[in-house]
Amino acid sequence: MTSETERLMKVRARQKKKKKPEFNRCDSHKKKKLSPSWRRPRGLHNKLRRHIAAKGKVVKAGFGSPRDVKGYHPCGMREVLVKNPDDLLEAEGCAVRIAGTVGMKKRDEIEARAREMNLKVLNPTSGGD
């Protein structure tokens, strides 16, 4: 990991330590049919669109992580989802997360091959060797 990447990871950690607001959809707590997932407020009289402080925060670029370390695992490596042993070839120098749909036999095979390639498995089997 380069010194610039290390610096950006520290910046990201500092940002994440601060409590980020929950970006909920406007009025999602009032109506059951509205999911809380963020939607941009567009109404003419919408208080959230007009940035009335008590109504919540609006999603802006300043809340995001630095672009160069977006998608990195906290250990400092890029994270790759693996569904079969052949996917490990693309995961050179990355941290590996085994998909939840993978069965135990194939999971053991993936973990053994990852151990040979010196790759870090983020979700190894709990009782394994």
Per-residue pLDDT tens for 27-79? 999 999 999 999 999 999 999 999 999 999 999 988 888 999 988 898 888 99
Q: For 75-121, what is each residue's pLDDT tens digit?
A: 888 999 999 999 999 988 899 999 999 999 999 999 999 999 999 99
Indicate yes or no: pTM above 0.75.
Answer: no
How far out from the chain centre does Cα 125 lie? 21
Confidence of residue 128 (pLDDT cuts 50, 70, 90): low
> Could you give the CA distance from residue 58 to residue 25 in angstroms, rounded to a whole number?
10
Sketch the domain layout of the chain as residue ranges: 3-65, 79-121
Share of the chain above pLDDT 70, in %: 98
Q: Which of 78, 60, 80 is nearest to 69 (CA)?
A: 78
Q: How far apart are CA 97 and CA 36, in angstroms?
A: 28
Closest CA to 75 of 127, 123, 125: 123
What is the rounded CA–CA span in Å between residue 74 and residue 68? 14
